[in-house]
Protein backbone atom coordinates (compact mmCIF):
# COMPACT_ATOMS: atom_id res chain seq x y z
CA UNK A 1 0.00 0.00 0.00
CA UNK A 2 1.50 3.38 -0.86
CA UNK A 3 1.89 5.40 2.30
CA UNK A 4 2.58 8.91 1.10
CA UNK A 5 -0.06 11.55 1.27
CA UNK A 6 -2.93 9.24 2.04
CA UNK A 7 -4.48 10.55 5.16
CA UNK A 8 -6.87 13.41 5.52
CA UNK A 9 -6.89 14.81 9.00
CA UNK A 10 -10.35 14.82 10.51
CA UNK A 11 -11.05 17.97 12.47
CA UNK A 12 -12.48 15.82 15.23
CA UNK A 13 -9.38 13.67 15.55
CA UNK A 14 -8.99 12.47 19.07
CA UNK A 15 -12.65 12.73 19.80
CA UNK A 16 -14.57 10.17 21.68
CA UNK A 17 -16.91 7.62 20.23
CA UNK A 18 -18.11 7.45 16.67
CA UNK A 19 -16.20 10.43 15.30
CA UNK A 20 -13.72 9.16 12.78
CA UNK A 21 -14.22 9.67 9.09
CA UNK A 22 -10.93 8.70 7.50
CA UNK A 23 -10.96 7.87 3.83
CA UNK A 24 -9.82 4.59 2.34
CA UNK A 25 -6.08 4.33 2.20
CA UNK A 26 -5.71 6.13 5.53
CA UNK A 27 -4.24 4.55 8.61
CA UNK A 28 -7.65 3.76 10.01
CA UNK A 29 -10.97 2.64 8.53
CA UNK A 30 -14.38 2.36 10.06
CA UNK A 31 -15.94 -0.96 9.19
CA UNK A 32 -19.27 -0.46 10.88
CA UNK A 33 -21.02 2.07 13.00
CA UNK A 34 -20.10 0.28 16.21
CA UNK A 35 -16.82 0.31 18.09
CA UNK A 36 -14.61 -1.72 15.78
CA UNK A 37 -12.16 0.11 13.54
CA UNK A 38 -9.44 -1.23 11.33
CA UNK A 39 -5.86 -0.13 11.56
CA UNK A 40 -4.42 -0.17 8.06
CA UNK A 41 -0.84 -1.33 8.05
CA UNK A 42 1.34 -2.53 5.16
CA UNK A 43 2.11 -6.01 6.50
CA UNK A 44 3.73 -7.03 3.18
CA UNK A 45 4.68 -10.71 3.45
CA UNK A 46 4.98 -10.71 7.24
CA UNK A 47 2.25 -13.24 8.05
CA UNK A 48 2.83 -13.06 11.79
CA UNK A 49 2.36 -9.31 11.77
CA UNK A 50 -0.77 -9.75 9.66
CA UNK A 51 -2.15 -12.29 12.15
CA UNK A 52 -1.50 -10.03 15.15
CA UNK A 53 -2.90 -7.00 13.31
CA UNK A 54 -6.07 -8.96 12.55
CA UNK A 55 -6.38 -9.87 16.22
CA UNK A 56 -6.07 -6.20 17.24
CA UNK A 57 -8.54 -5.14 14.55
CA UNK A 58 -11.10 -7.61 15.87
CA UNK A 59 -10.57 -6.96 19.57
CA UNK A 60 -13.50 -4.88 20.74
CA UNK A 61 -12.32 -5.03 24.34
CA UNK A 62 -8.93 -3.51 23.48
CA UNK A 63 -10.45 -0.89 21.21
CA UNK A 64 -12.89 0.06 23.96
CA UNK A 65 -9.92 0.57 26.27
CA UNK A 66 -8.48 2.93 23.66
CA UNK A 67 -11.67 4.97 23.85
CA UNK A 68 -11.38 5.03 27.65
CA UNK A 69 -7.90 6.50 27.28
CA UNK A 70 -9.27 9.43 25.32
CA UNK A 71 -12.02 10.09 27.83
CA UNK A 72 -9.22 10.77 30.31
CA UNK A 73 -6.78 12.39 27.89
CA UNK A 74 -9.02 14.57 25.77
CA UNK A 75 -12.21 15.18 27.73
CA UNK A 76 -10.91 15.27 31.28
CA UNK A 77 -7.33 16.49 30.91
CA UNK A 78 -7.50 18.59 27.72
CA UNK A 79 -4.60 16.70 26.21
CA UNK A 80 -4.04 15.83 22.58
CA UNK A 81 -5.37 12.63 21.03
CA UNK A 82 -4.18 9.44 22.70
CA UNK A 83 -6.76 7.20 21.08
CA UNK A 84 -7.12 4.85 18.15
CA UNK A 85 -6.03 7.42 15.54
CA UNK A 86 -2.85 8.03 17.53
CA UNK A 87 -2.11 4.32 17.71
CA UNK A 88 -2.79 3.77 14.02
CA UNK A 89 -0.44 6.60 13.13
CA UNK A 90 2.29 5.55 15.54
CA UNK A 91 2.11 1.96 14.26
CA UNK A 92 2.56 3.08 10.66
CA UNK A 93 5.39 5.47 11.46
CA UNK A 94 7.14 2.85 13.60
CA UNK A 95 6.92 0.25 10.85
CA UNK A 96 8.24 2.72 8.29
CA UNK A 97 11.21 3.66 10.49
CA UNK A 98 11.99 0.04 11.33
CA UNK A 99 11.88 -1.04 7.70
CA UNK A 100 14.16 1.81 6.67
CA UNK A 101 16.60 0.64 9.33
CA UNK A 102 16.30 -2.99 8.25
CA UNK A 103 16.92 -2.05 4.62
CA UNK A 104 20.08 -0.30 5.78
CA UNK A 105 21.04 -3.57 7.53
CA UNK A 106 20.64 -2.17 11.02
CA UNK A 107 19.93 -5.21 13.15
CA UNK A 108 16.95 -5.16 15.55
CA UNK A 109 17.76 -6.11 19.13
CA UNK A 110 15.48 -9.15 19.03
CA UNK A 111 17.65 -10.53 16.24
CA UNK A 112 20.91 -9.74 18.02
CA UNK A 113 19.91 -10.93 21.48
CA UNK A 114 17.25 -13.59 20.91
CA UNK A 115 18.10 -14.85 17.41
CA UNK A 116 14.60 -14.13 16.18
CA UNK A 117 13.89 -12.33 12.91
CA UNK A 118 13.26 -8.94 11.33
CA UNK A 119 9.61 -9.97 11.00
CA UNK A 120 9.43 -10.55 14.74
CA UNK A 121 10.88 -7.09 15.35
CA UNK A 122 7.98 -5.70 13.31
CA UNK A 123 5.52 -7.49 15.60
CA UNK A 124 7.31 -6.03 18.65
CA UNK A 125 7.12 -2.43 17.42
CA UNK A 126 3.51 -2.89 16.34
CA UNK A 127 2.52 -4.10 19.81
CA UNK A 128 4.48 -1.28 21.42
CA UNK A 129 2.81 1.25 19.13
CA UNK A 130 -0.75 0.19 19.88
CA UNK A 131 -0.36 -0.52 23.60
CA UNK A 132 2.15 2.04 24.92
CA UNK A 133 -0.41 4.49 26.32
CA UNK A 134 -2.86 1.91 27.66
CA UNK A 135 -2.11 2.88 31.26
CA UNK A 136 -3.84 6.18 30.68
CA UNK A 137 -7.15 4.40 31.29
CA UNK A 138 -6.12 4.60 34.95
CA UNK A 139 -4.02 7.78 35.11
CA UNK A 140 -1.66 9.89 33.09
CA UNK A 141 0.97 9.88 35.82
CA UNK A 142 3.21 6.83 35.49
CA UNK A 143 1.05 5.63 32.63
CA UNK A 144 4.06 3.86 31.10
CA UNK A 145 4.27 1.66 34.20
CA UNK A 146 0.53 1.05 34.22
CA UNK A 147 0.67 0.21 30.50
CA UNK A 148 3.13 -2.59 31.17
CA UNK A 149 0.77 -4.33 33.59
CA UNK A 150 -2.18 -4.03 31.24
CA UNK A 151 -0.27 -5.02 28.12
CA UNK A 152 1.18 -8.04 29.90
CA UNK A 153 -2.37 -9.34 30.22
CA UNK A 154 -3.28 -8.61 26.60
CA UNK A 155 -0.22 -9.49 24.51
CA UNK A 156 -0.06 -13.25 25.21
CA UNK A 157 -3.63 -13.58 23.94
CA UNK A 158 -2.85 -11.60 20.79
CA UNK A 159 0.08 -13.93 20.10
CA UNK A 160 -1.67 -17.20 21.02
CA UNK A 161 -1.48 -19.60 18.09
CA UNK A 162 0.75 -17.24 16.13
CA UNK A 163 3.90 -18.11 18.06
CA UNK A 164 4.96 -21.14 20.11
CA UNK A 165 5.40 -20.46 23.82
CA UNK A 166 9.11 -19.60 23.80
CA UNK A 167 8.78 -17.04 21.02
CA UNK A 168 5.53 -15.78 22.51
CA UNK A 169 7.34 -15.06 25.77
CA UNK A 170 10.19 -13.27 23.99
CA UNK A 171 7.90 -11.11 21.87
CA UNK A 172 5.91 -10.24 25.00
CA UNK A 173 9.05 -9.30 26.93
CA UNK A 174 10.46 -7.17 24.11
CA UNK A 175 7.15 -5.40 23.53
CA UNK A 176 6.82 -4.65 27.25
CA UNK A 177 10.23 -3.00 27.18
CA UNK A 178 9.18 -0.71 24.33
CA UNK A 179 6.06 0.19 26.29
CA UNK A 180 7.84 0.89 29.59
CA UNK A 181 10.62 2.85 27.88
CA UNK A 182 8.50 5.01 25.59
CA UNK A 183 8.85 7.95 27.97
CA UNK A 184 12.02 9.98 27.42
CA UNK A 185 13.43 9.68 30.92
CA UNK A 186 13.47 5.87 30.86
CA UNK A 187 16.74 4.27 29.71
CA UNK A 188 16.30 2.04 26.67
CA UNK A 189 17.95 -1.26 25.87
CA UNK A 190 16.72 -2.00 22.36
CA UNK A 191 16.49 -0.58 18.87
CA UNK A 192 12.79 -1.44 18.81
CA UNK A 193 12.12 0.67 21.92
CA UNK A 194 13.76 3.62 20.17
CA UNK A 195 11.58 3.10 17.13
CA UNK A 196 8.40 3.18 19.22
CA UNK A 197 9.49 6.22 21.23
CA UNK A 198 10.42 8.25 18.15
CA UNK A 199 7.30 7.16 16.24
CA UNK A 200 5.19 8.26 19.20
CA UNK A 201 6.91 11.67 19.17
CA UNK A 202 6.40 12.06 15.43
CA UNK A 203 2.63 12.02 15.71
CA UNK A 204 2.92 15.78 15.98
CA UNK A 205 0.96 17.16 13.09
CA UNK A 206 -1.49 19.97 13.71
CA UNK A 207 -4.54 17.72 13.83
CA UNK A 208 -3.38 16.10 17.02
CA UNK A 209 -3.26 19.44 18.82
CA UNK A 210 -6.46 20.87 17.47
CA UNK A 211 -8.75 19.77 20.29
CA UNK A 212 -6.77 21.26 23.18
CA UNK A 213 -5.99 24.35 21.06
CA UNK A 214 -9.59 25.06 20.19
CA UNK A 215 -10.54 24.37 23.80
CA UNK A 216 -8.40 27.32 24.78
CA UNK A 217 -5.05 25.74 25.49
CA UNK A 218 -2.68 28.29 23.96
CA UNK A 219 0.62 27.40 25.60
CA UNK A 220 3.82 26.84 23.63
CA UNK A 221 3.07 23.13 23.31
CA UNK A 222 -0.30 23.74 21.67
CA UNK A 223 0.86 26.68 19.57
CA UNK A 224 3.93 24.90 18.26
CA UNK A 225 2.00 21.71 17.56
CA UNK A 226 -0.59 23.66 15.58
CA UNK A 227 2.16 24.99 13.32
CA UNK A 228 3.30 21.52 12.18
CA UNK A 229 2.02 21.14 8.66
CA UNK A 230 3.42 17.78 7.70
CA UNK A 231 5.85 15.09 8.77
CA UNK A 232 7.50 12.89 6.16
CA UNK A 233 9.87 10.00 6.62
CA UNK A 234 12.27 8.91 3.92
CA UNK A 235 15.80 7.63 3.63
CA UNK A 236 18.84 9.21 2.05
CA UNK A 237 22.26 8.08 0.96
CA UNK A 238 23.60 9.22 4.33
CA UNK A 239 20.88 8.20 6.77
CA UNK A 240 18.37 5.35 6.79
CA UNK A 241 15.82 7.61 8.45
CA UNK A 242 15.34 11.23 7.45
CA UNK A 243 12.47 13.02 9.15
CA UNK A 244 11.29 16.09 7.27
CA UNK A 245 9.03 18.36 9.28
CA UNK A 246 7.35 21.24 7.49
CA UNK A 247 5.71 24.07 9.36
CA UNK A 248 3.44 26.99 8.69
CA UNK A 249 5.58 29.23 10.88
CA UNK A 250 8.64 29.24 13.10
CA UNK A 251 6.86 28.41 16.35
CA UNK A 252 6.89 24.76 15.37
CA UNK A 253 10.61 24.71 16.03
CA UNK A 254 9.80 24.10 19.71
CA UNK A 255 8.39 20.70 18.78
CA UNK A 256 11.50 19.85 16.82
CA UNK A 257 14.36 21.31 18.83
CA UNK A 258 12.98 20.74 22.31
CA UNK A 259 10.54 17.85 22.35
CA UNK A 260 11.67 15.62 19.49
CA UNK A 261 15.38 15.99 20.20
CA UNK A 262 14.78 14.86 23.77
CA UNK A 263 12.88 11.82 22.52
CA UNK A 264 15.61 10.73 20.11
CA UNK A 265 18.43 11.24 22.61
CA UNK A 266 19.42 8.03 24.32
CA UNK A 267 17.71 5.75 21.83
CA UNK A 268 19.56 3.38 19.54
CA UNK A 269 18.31 5.42 16.62
CA UNK A 270 20.96 8.02 17.38
CA UNK A 271 23.28 8.23 14.42
CA UNK A 272 20.75 6.68 12.06
CA UNK A 273 18.23 9.49 12.02
CA UNK A 274 18.41 13.00 10.65
CA UNK A 275 15.79 15.62 11.41
CA UNK A 276 15.15 18.50 9.04
CA UNK A 277 12.70 21.23 9.97
CA UNK A 278 11.59 23.75 7.41
CA UNK A 279 9.09 26.55 7.04
CA UNK A 280 7.08 26.77 3.86
CA UNK A 281 5.88 30.25 2.99
CA UNK A 282 4.77 31.49 -0.39
CA UNK A 283 5.84 28.18 -1.92
CA UNK A 284 9.41 28.75 -0.68
CA UNK A 285 11.09 26.44 1.79
CA UNK A 286 13.70 27.58 4.27
CA UNK A 287 15.46 25.17 6.59
CA UNK A 288 15.26 26.21 10.23
CA UNK A 289 17.01 23.28 11.82
CA UNK A 290 18.86 20.17 10.77
CA UNK A 291 20.38 17.77 13.24
CA UNK A 292 21.63 14.29 13.87
CA UNK A 293 22.16 13.10 17.42
CA UNK A 294 24.83 10.72 18.60
CA UNK A 295 27.25 11.65 15.86
CA UNK A 296 29.19 14.67 14.68
CA UNK A 297 27.19 17.55 16.09
CA UNK A 298 23.87 19.25 15.94
CA UNK A 299 22.96 21.26 12.89
CA UNK A 300 24.70 18.86 10.55
CA UNK A 301 24.78 20.24 7.03
CA UNK A 302 24.35 18.52 3.69
CA UNK A 303 27.64 16.94 2.69
CA UNK A 304 28.92 16.50 6.20
CA UNK A 305 30.58 13.16 7.00
CA UNK A 306 28.43 10.18 7.98
CA UNK A 307 27.77 9.78 11.66
CA UNK A 308 28.95 6.97 13.89
CA UNK A 309 25.91 4.87 14.72
CA UNK A 310 25.41 3.34 18.12
CA UNK A 311 23.58 0.13 17.11
CA UNK A 312 24.86 -2.88 15.24
CA UNK A 313 24.95 -2.72 11.45
CA UNK A 314 25.36 -5.75 9.24
CA UNK A 315 28.12 -4.57 6.96
CA UNK A 316 27.39 -6.56 3.82
CA UNK A 317 24.18 -4.67 3.12
CA UNK A 318 23.58 -1.77 0.81
CA UNK A 319 22.48 1.37 2.59
CA UNK A 320 22.94 3.67 -0.39
CA UNK A 321 19.61 3.29 -2.11
CA UNK A 322 18.22 6.79 -2.26
CA UNK A 323 14.49 6.65 -1.90
CA UNK A 324 12.41 9.77 -1.78
CA UNK A 325 9.26 7.85 -1.07
CA UNK A 326 8.06 9.29 2.17
CA UNK A 327 5.39 8.72 4.70
CA UNK A 328 3.04 11.50 5.49
CA UNK A 329 1.59 11.48 8.92
CA UNK A 330 -1.82 12.96 9.53
FE1 LIG B 1 2.75 7.95 26.61
FE1 LIG C 1 1.58 7.94 22.68
> Residue 302 — pLDDT band, cuts 50, 70, 90?
very low
Sign for the pseudo-dihedral over CA of 136, 32, 22, 219: negative
31 C-alpha to ligand 2 centroid (Å): 24
| Per-residue pLDDT band at 22 (split at 50, 70, 90) | very low
Q: What spacing in Å lies between the alpha carbon of 200 and ligand 2's midpoint?
A: 5
CB 234 within 8 A of CB 3: no
Q: How far apart are CA 22 and CA 20, in angstroms?
A: 6
Between the CA of 143 and the centroid of ligand 1 the distance, in Å, is: 7
pLDDT of residue 144 exceeding 90:
yes
Mean pLDDT of 85-113: 97
Distance 224 CA to ligand 1 centre (A): 19
pTM over 0.85: no
Burial 151-173 (b: 16+ CB within 10 A, else e): beebbeebbeebbeeebbebbbe
Question: What pLDDT sits at residue 270?
Answer: 94
Amino acid sequence: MPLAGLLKVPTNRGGIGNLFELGTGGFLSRIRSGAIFLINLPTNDNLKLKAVLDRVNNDEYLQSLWDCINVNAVRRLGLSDHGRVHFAIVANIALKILRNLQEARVEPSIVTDHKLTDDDAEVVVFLGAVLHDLGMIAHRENHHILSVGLAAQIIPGLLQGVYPDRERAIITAEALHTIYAHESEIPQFTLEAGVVRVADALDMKEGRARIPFTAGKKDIHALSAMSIRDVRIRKSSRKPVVVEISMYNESGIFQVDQLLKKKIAGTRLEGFIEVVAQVEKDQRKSVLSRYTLGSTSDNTTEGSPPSQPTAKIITNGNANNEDRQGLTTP
